[in-house]
Amino acid sequence: MFEASEKARRFERGQTVEGILVAFGPEVAFVSIGGKSEAQIDVAELKDADGALEFAVGDRIQARVVSTGGGIVLSRAGVRNAATQRELEEAFGAGLAVEGKVEKSVKGGYEVRIERERAFCPLSQIDIVRTVDPAVHEGKTYAFRIIEYKDGGKTLVVSRRKQLEEEQRASAEVLRQSIVPGAVLTGRVASVLDYGAFVDLGAGIQGLLHVSDMSWSRVPSAHAVVAVGDNITVKVLRVDEASGKMSLGTKQLLDDPWSTVTTRFAVGQVLTGRVTRLAAFGAFVELEPGIEGLAHASAFAPTSRSGEWAKSVPPGTGAPFEIVSIDAAQKRIGLKPVDEGSSRVRQQAEPSEGEPATETDSKVAIGSLADKLRDALQKR
């Protein structure tokens, strides 16, 4: 006892010592603190907030001497907090990430536990996207950046958003290296406008999928093809190195229907087509998805007024058309409407020499094709 008392006098209360854990008992652990000196420390002080042991035999710890009477008793309470605060201050100064657990949502944000310290994370800093239900983050462990460190660590404000943005920038740099013309990637539709859709390829990188590159068929609006949240596969068409903008396509992942047009179509062939749009010089007709032909205005029944022919074939009209020419290289097909009574109508519409055209003759010429196109549309 005298020898133990002499050894104990070498240490003073409040002194910080470093030692090695040598054994664990039910309630106390034994620490070798130099020479033949051994100290005791409560096992509870070696556990984390969840009650799990943080140390094992052989681990080195720092503690403070709280008693020297009849043996040395240690405590990590003050030392542990000081060490944690020192680490947090260093992390704040160096801009390093620290791990924290979201304890609960509070007014304006969240209470976060980092080691034994409490920190506050504003609601706007918990994620990159807007948080609708605050409860989704409770109980989760995340990496945070310390954005405010005051009063020796008593005031801690952290941000997960800044950490995510940093990770996103790092990932974006790696991803950009793989985004080259011809690359095939998967992405998620972030937004849709009439002229196209913006596709998120990851790490905040977005590209434009123009409506003209969605399908070989003519698409009236991007809304008819994709919706926000859709996961799609796209092909990178162009990348502007200066601006970072990129163009994407989906139809380029499919076979071009024009590549085999000469094996599937022939001059003289009659097909049912759908009028997609009108121009002053004629009507564009879709024969099958991705294949359009042009029926020139002169191919329609003559009328007494310029452009009157267009009223007989509004967009959406379905009717039989005959192929009159094919130019696969230029992706052009010439068409004419099929009208069994066209020659008779033309004859009736043409007055005899010296005889003026009547209103009835004009109506026959205009109405004949229109009636047949309407009949064909109704049958479809």
Domains (range + CATH), the chain: 2-75 (2.40.50.140), 87-165 (2.40.50.140), 180-253 (2.40.50.140), 258-379 (2.40.50.140)
pLDDT digits (tens, 9 = 90+) for 142-181: 999 999 998 877 889 999 999 998 888 888 888 888 899 9
Please state, in angstroms and rounded to a whole number, the distance separating the CA atoms of residues 300 and 369. Answer: 8
Please state, in angstroms and rounded to a whole number, the distance separating the CA atoms of residues 26 and 40. Answer: 12
Instruction: List C-alpha distances in Å: 81 to 88, 120, 309.
Output: 10, 18, 88
What would the mean pLDDT of 349-367 be, rounded to a whole number?
38
> Among the ranges 43-57, 67-81, 244-258, which has the highest mean pLDDT value?
244-258
pLDDT digits (tens, 9 = 90+) for 199-212: 999 887 899 999 99
Q: Is residue 31 predicted with pLDDT exceeding 60?
A: yes
Number of Cβ atoms within 10 Å of the Cβ of 83: 15
- Are 103 and 144 contacting, i.e. CB atoms less than 8 angstroms apart? no
Q: Which two tokens stand for residue 284?
A: 């564009």
Who contacts 371 (Cβ-Cβ below 8 Å, separation ≥6)? Answer: none
For residue 376, the model assigns a pLDDT of: 41
Q: Is residue 251 predicted with pLDDT exceeding 80?
A: yes
Please state, in angstroms and rounded to a whole number, the distance separating the CA atoms of residues 42 and 73. Answer: 9
Please state, in angstroms and rounded to a whole number, the distance separating the CA atoms of residues 156 and 290. Answer: 61
Q: Which two tokens stand for residue 317?
A: 């009209």
Q: Nearest CA to 106 among 124, 120, 125, 126?
A: 120
Q: Is residue 359 predicted with pLDDT exceeding 50?
A: no
What would the mean pLDDT of 47-55 be, rounded to a whole number?
81
pLDDT digits (tens, 9 = 90+) for 77-123: 766 566 577 788 888 988 888 999 999 999 999 999 987 788 999 99
Among the residue ranges 228-242, 270-284, 331-345, 359-373, the one predicted with the least confidence is: 359-373
Strand partners, 100: 142
For residue 303, the model assigns a pLDDT of: 67
- Are 273 and 315 contacting, i.e. CB atoms less than 8 angstroms apart? no
Instruction: List C-alpha distances in Å: 8 to 222, 247, 286, 295.
Output: 82, 76, 98, 107
What would the mean pLDDT of 247-268 be, rounded to a whole number?
93
For residue 305, the model assigns a pLDDT of: 67
Which of the 8 DSSP states describes residue 53? B
For residue 3, the model assigns a pLDDT of: 54
pLDDT range class, residue 35, cuts 50, 70, 90? low
Q: Is residue 348 predicted with pLDDT exceeding 90?
A: no
Among the residue ranges 11-15, 59-63, 80-84, 169-173, the one predicted with the least confidence is: 80-84
Average model confidence (pLDDT) for the chain? 83
Q: How many residues does the chain have?
A: 380
